[in-house]
């Protein structure tokens, strides 16, 4: 109880406590043989990791994040559209995301409608509405360059 009071009082005074950082190092891992590696340095800036974006479905909200070398990454906080490919019709369209249907890694991500890589989402079907396709029978024939030169 005394320790908790000390922590609360130090926070009230505005002093910073040492915080655990997210690290992408391999210092904490064991060797292939199972032996422990010696810790010969503390965490380094280039081993730094960041918190997950936990992207939700909603009006577009993107935060810029400064990275190593002054480069910028753009972290999607909320997104409502995406670029989706329809393999059998060989077309890719920007469409609205309606819902997260399935996620193999975690059901919690489905319940909270969190967008992550490999999540199965339901999209707006207007990208699939009928339109003249390049391989449709009524489309004019396309020639290969060599055929065009030969006049076939």
| Res. 128: pLDDT tops 90 | no
Query: Please, which residues bridge with residue 112 across strands?
Result: none
| Sheet strands (E) in the chain | 55-57, 61-66, 72-79, 81-86, 91-102, 114-115, 120-123
Q: What is the pLDDT of residues 64-115, one digit of tens each?
A: 999 999 999 999 999 999 999 888 888 889 999 999 999 999 999 999 999 9
Which pLDDT belongs to residue 35? 96
The Cα 72–Cα 30 span in angstroms is 33
Angle at the Cα of 118 from the Cα atoms of 121 and 62, rounded to 5 degrees:
75
Q: What is the pTM of this model?
A: 0.64
Q: Which of the 8 DSSP states describes residue 9? A: H
Q: What is the pLDDT of residues 113-126, one digit of tens each?
A: 999 999 999 999 87
């Amino acid at each position: 109880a005394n320790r908790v009071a000390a922590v609360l009082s130090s926070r009230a005074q505005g002093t910073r406590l040492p915080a655990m950082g997210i690290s992408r190092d391999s210092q904490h891992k064991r060797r292939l043989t199972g032996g422990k590696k010696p810790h010969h340095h503390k965490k380094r800036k280039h081993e730094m990791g960041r918190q997950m974006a936990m992207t939700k479905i909603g009006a577009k909200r993107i935060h810029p994040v400064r990275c190593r070398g002054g480069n910028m990454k753009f972290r999607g906080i909320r997104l409502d559209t995406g670029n989706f490919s329809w393999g059998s019709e060989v077309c890719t369209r920007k469409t609205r995301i309606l819902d997260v249907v399935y996620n193999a890694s975690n059901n919690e991500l489905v319940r909270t409608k969190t967008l992550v890589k490999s999540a199965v989402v339901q999209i707006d079907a207007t990208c699939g509405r009928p339109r003249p396709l390049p391989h449709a029978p009524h489309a004019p024939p396309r020639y290969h360059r060599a055929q065009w030169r030969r006049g076939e």
